Amino acid sequence: MDERTAVVNIGGTEYEMLLTTRATKEIAGRYGGLENLGEKLMKSENFEMALDEIIWLITLLCNQPILIHNLKNPNEKKPELTADEVELLTSPMELTDYKDAIMDAMYKGTKRNVESESEGKNIVAE
């Protein structure tokens, strides 16, 4: 498992969720940016619309590792997960777990690892 992924179980199969640049572009196109995502999910006009948005996000994020695998292994392609599969293989009660995994994948995909240099510009010259 990649340190940038979160894992969800859909229909007995574990899927990694990964926020890639491509996924970020698709989310930005749909919501106007990552920062608008949470607000959009919370303000969905109805339960069906909220479910549709979560299913879309789950499908998008779960397909990123599959697409990367298929790019790197053109002779061993895996099938992409579909929104229909996500709808049929999940229950609304599981959505809290999936929302947490979505947020975890987003956090891991956007966090920055900042390392300090022990020797740097602020050393006094002798």
pLDDT score for 45: 64
Weakly modelled stretches of the chain, pLDDT under 50? 114-116, 120
Q: Give residue limits of the domains in the chain.
A: 5-110
Burial 37-74 (b: 16+ CB within 10 A, else e): beeebeeeeeeeebeebbbebbbbbbbbbbbeebeeee
Whether the CB-CB separation of 8 and 14 falls below 8 Å is answered with yes
Whether the CB-CB separation of 63 and 81 falls below 8 Å is answered with yes
pLDDT score for 114: 44
User: pTM score > 0.75 for this model?
Assistant: yes
Q: What is the pLDDT of residues 20-46, one digit of tens each?
A: 999 999 998 988 877 777 666 666 566
pLDDT score for 41: 65
